[in-house]
């Protein structure tokens, strides 16, 4: 279904590429007798590789039934450099049988091999020219192969996280996709000072892969101190701040449209629904000035705001008040105290709550 990459760096990720385009395509494998996979896995597990040479030998053992790949990996230069773990980790599903364990072993070993082969770059590489160029090339190759893996998953109708009952092809493609993403960001992070531009995990998913934010699998950087997340405008100290939207923007857009039509959520003579959506989803609420004037009663807006916190966790009363972008139907600036008064003095009726709940449920929000 895909066209094969042809570049120096694609040769460096030849084993990954073969899972989509070559000998290792899981849909071409004869899996009627799994004993051979079990034998290969057990043999590979006898040694825990500690150098590039050892992990290449482990891969050669796993690939001995695949002549093209076995010949290729056996011909690679052997190095006794000590293996370094990837700078980031990712939570992937456990393999449930011999075939999925076989692919897990190959993908995991190749991820470590490629990372270490690249970070131990040749001594004659120039840091101003060669490193940025070669890093850009391998990142592009990884990105393209990830895009092709996502397409393969979608074309085969695999849209969920695989579990023990899943088809082994589904498992393999999913494991490949997220291992490629892990490798991409491990290399980018390692060489980020040499790159003119880096991408975020969120942008990689949404812009490069065309996936929703809800499909992001987080990466952890255990060796790098993580900055404490800014959860309120008061903590932001003029740094970019967002309401932390992590849902499907199309579903949010439809939900806001429905509530504007049926519940007069916004005073559309003052505020367009698109402005409210942009404010909820922007990465920096200070990127422009907003005026969000509601058209409903404050107690109803409060109930809706509580529901929106599921996909925008920082859309709370304090931040709504501090941003100074929200106004009541009478044009009065909404402060956090207004919500407290609304809740106690004018509670939303049970029927109205049920209607709002239905709108959220119908839009999977």
Q: Is the pLDDT of residue 274 over 80?
A: yes
Average pLDDT (196-208) is: 92
Domain ranges of the chain: 8-220, 249-362
Q: What is the pLDDT of residue 286?
A: 87
The answer to whether 205 and 215 are in contact (CB under 8 A) is yes
Q: pLDDT by residue (tens digit) across 103-156?
A: 999 999 999 999 998 988 777 778 788 889 999 999 999 999 999 999 999 999
Instruction: Choose the weakest-confidence range: 4-13, 66-75, 209-218, 321-330.
Output: 4-13
Average pLDDT (176-181) is: 98
pLDDT band at 65 (very low <50, low <70, confident <90, very high): very high
pLDDT band at 220 (very low <50, low <70, confident <90, very high): very high
Q: Is the pLDDT of residue 234 over 80?
A: no
Residue percentage of the chain with pLDDT more than 70: 91
Q: What is the pLDDT of residue 292?
A: 95
User: How many angstroms separate the CA atoms of 271 and 273, rounded?
Assistant: 6
Higher pLDDT, 203 or 77: 203
Higher pLDDT, 240 or 356: 356
Q: What is the pLDDT of residue 225?
A: 55
Q: What is the pLDDT of residue 266?
A: 96
pTM of the full predicted structure?
0.63
Q: pLDDT by residue (tens digit) across 4-50?
A: 333 343 347 999 999 999 999 999 999 988 999 999 999 999 989 99
Q: What is the pLDDT of residue 364?
A: 87
């Amino acid at each position: 279904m895909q066209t094969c990459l042809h570049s120096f760096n694609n040769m460096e990720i030849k084993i990954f590429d073969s899972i989509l385009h070559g000998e290792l395509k899981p849909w071409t494998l004869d899996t009627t007798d799994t004993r051979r996979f079990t034998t290969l896995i057990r043999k590979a597990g006898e040694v825990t590789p500690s150098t590039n040479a050892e992990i290449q030998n482990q891969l050669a053992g796993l690939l001995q039934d695949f002549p093209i790949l076995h010949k290729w990996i056996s011909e690679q230069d052997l190095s006794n450099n000590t293996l370094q773990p990837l700078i980031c980790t990712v939570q992937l599903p456990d393999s449930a049988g011999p075939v999925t364990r076989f692919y897990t072993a190959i993908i995991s070993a190749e991820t470590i091999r490629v990372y270490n082969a690249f970070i131990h770059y040749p001594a004659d590489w120039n840091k101003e020219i060669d490193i940025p160029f070669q890093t850009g090339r391998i990142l592009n190759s990884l990105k393209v192969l990830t895009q092709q893996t996502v397409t393969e998953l979608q074309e085969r109708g695999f849209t969920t996280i695989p579990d023990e009952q899943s088809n082994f092809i589904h498992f393999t493609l999913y494991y490949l996709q997220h291992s490629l993403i892990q490798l991409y960001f491990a290399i980018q992070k390692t060489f980020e000072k040499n790159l003119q531009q880096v991408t975020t995990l969120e942008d990689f998913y949404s812009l490069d892969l065309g996936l929703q934010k809800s499909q992001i699998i987080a990466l952890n950087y255990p060796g790098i101190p993580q900055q404490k997340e800014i959860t309120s405008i008061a903590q932001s100290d003029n740094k970019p701040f967002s309401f932390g939207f992590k849902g499907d923007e199309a579903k949010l857009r439809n939900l806001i449209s429905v509530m504007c039509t049926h519940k007069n959520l916004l005073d559309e003579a003052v505020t367009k629904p698109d402005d409210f959506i942009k404010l909820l989803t922007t990465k920096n609420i200070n990127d422009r000035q907003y005026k969000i004037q509601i058209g409903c009663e404050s107690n109803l807006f409060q109930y809706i705001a509580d529901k929106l916190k599921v996909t925008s966790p920082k859309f709370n009363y304090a931040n709504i008040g501090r941003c100074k972008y929200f106004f009541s139907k009478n044009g009065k600036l909404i402060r956090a105290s207004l919500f407290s008064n609304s809740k106690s003095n004018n509670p939303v009726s049970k029927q109205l709550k049920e209607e709002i709940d239905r709108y959220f449920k119908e839009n999977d929000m």
